[in-house]
Amino acid sequence: MIRVGVNGAAGRMGSTVCEAVEADDELNLVARGDAGDSLETFVDASCDVVVDFTVAAAARTSVAWLARNGVHCVVGTTGLGADDFDAWTEASAAGGGNVLVAANFAISAVLMMRFAEMAAPFFDTAEIIELHHDAKLDAPSGTAAVTAERMATAKHAWPADPTTHETVPGARGGRGPGGIHVHSVRMRGMVAHQEVILGAAGQTLTLRQDSYSRESFMPGVVLACKRIADLPGLTRGLDPVLGL
């Protein structure tokens, strides 16, 4: 039985994680906490892994502390960057706690990002449209940012945008890695959705992923809790867990 703690348990995502852990026969929910709470709670409960859905400012220090104390961490908190990942890699090496951080735990979203990466070299242009609920504070989403990063890595030379004038400033969206345009929609009634549109002469390919509830992320979170002990150091994305 894997002993699991949830940091950010009072939030909507955190509470959904708690329910998913309690419903799984191989996992045992032994501790709950929130940003600002003492991290000793998780060590005292002998957690094997802590799932973090807090905020970047809290996760930045709590994940490093837990990893240094030998506790594995599954991180879904957004707004983190390369410096944070470097710090967690060092903490993992020092204390033995593995860290897995993913922009999206929905298996359909992980596959969508992989398919976009695979398709990128075969197309001339690409744009990303991400659509989320109207309470989301950051833009673009972590999923969109990672998708653009992976596509830009897969195809180094994307053509320049021919647009020279925007009648409405910002109409062409933001420019992500490789100059790929990213458009963020915030809409009441939505949860998390993304389209990747790729184009070449006479053809387009549209990849779309939809999450209609927070439960869509739970199979990935649960699977990460079960597999993280076998993923030393820092792992970015759910791909290794799925064998991709």
Do 132 and 228 lie in one domain? The reply is no
What per-residue confidence (pLDDT) applies to 213? 92
What per-residue confidence (pLDDT) applies to 93? 95
Can you give the three-state secondary structure of 27-65, one letter per residue?
A: EEEEEEECCCCCCHHHHHCCCCEEEECCCHHHHHHHHHH
Q: What range defines the domain where residue 148 resides?
A: 107-212
> How many domains does the chain contain in total?
2
Q: Which two tokens stand for residue 58?
A: 């809290």
The average confidence (pLDDT) of the chain is 94
Active site residue 183: no
Sequence-distant (≥ 6) Cβ neighbours of residue 66 within 8 angstroms = 39, 42, 43, 50, 73, 97
Quick: pLDDT tens for 12-59: 899 999 999 999 999 999 999 998 899 999 999 999 999 999 999 999
- β-partners of residue 114 are none
Do 152 and 166 lie in one domain? The reply is yes
Residue 81 has pLDDT above 90, yes or no: no
> Is 194 in contact with 151 (CB distance < 8 Å)?
no
What per-residue confidence (pLDDT) applies to 44? 95
> Is 89 in contact with 113 (CB distance < 8 Å)?
no
Do 40 and 64 lie in one domain? The reply is yes
The whole-number average pLDDT for the span 112-139 is 95
What percent of the chain stands above pLDDT 70?
A: 100
Do 113 and 208 lie in one domain? The reply is yes
The whole-number average pLDDT for the span 223-234 is 96
Residue 162 φ/ψ, nearest 5 degrees: -75, -10
> Is 205 in contact with 191 (CB distance < 8 Å)?
no
CATH code of the domain in which 50 resides:
3.40.50.720
Do 59 and 8 lie in one domain? The reply is yes
Do 137 and 75 lie in one domain? The reply is no
Do 203 and 237 lie in one domain? The reply is no
Q: Which two tokens stand for residue 96?
A: 């033995």
The whole-number average pLDDT for the span 52-70 is 94
Residue 9 burial (C-beta neighbours within 10 Å; 0-12, 13-18, 19+): buried
Cβ count near 65 (within 10 Å): 17
Sequence-distant (≥ 6) Cβ neighbours of residue 101 within 8 angstroms = 75, 76, 77, 80, 85, 88, 234, 235, 236
Secondary structure of residue 157 in the 3-state scheme: coil
Active site residue 226: no
Do 116 and 35 lie in one domain? The reply is no
Residue 117 has pLDDT above 90, yes or no: yes
CATH code of the domain in which 161 resides:
3.30.360.10
Residue 79 has pLDDT above 90, yes or no: no
Residue 201 has pLDDT above 90, yes or no: yes
Residue 161 has pLDDT above 90, yes or no: no
Catalytic position from the list 132, 155, 181, 193: 132
Q: Please state, in angstroms and as integers, the Cα–Cα distance from residue 121 to each residue in 76, 84, 156, 194, following that order.
A: 29, 30, 9, 20
Do 88 and 111 lie in one domain? The reply is no
What per-residue confidence (pLDDT) applies to 243? 86
What per-residue confidence (pLDDT) applies to 207? 98
Do 192 and 154 lie in one domain? The reply is yes
Do 124 and 175 lie in one domain? The reply is yes
What per-residue confidence (pLDDT) applies to 84? 94
Do 48 and 113 lie in one domain? The reply is no
What type of residue is 154?
A: A
Band (131; pLDDT cuts 50, 70, 90): very high
User: CA 134 from chain center: how many Å?
Assistant: 19
The whole-number average pLDDT for the span 210-234 is 95
CA distance linking residue 36 with residue 48, whole number of Å: 21
What per-residue confidence (pLDDT) applies to 78? 82
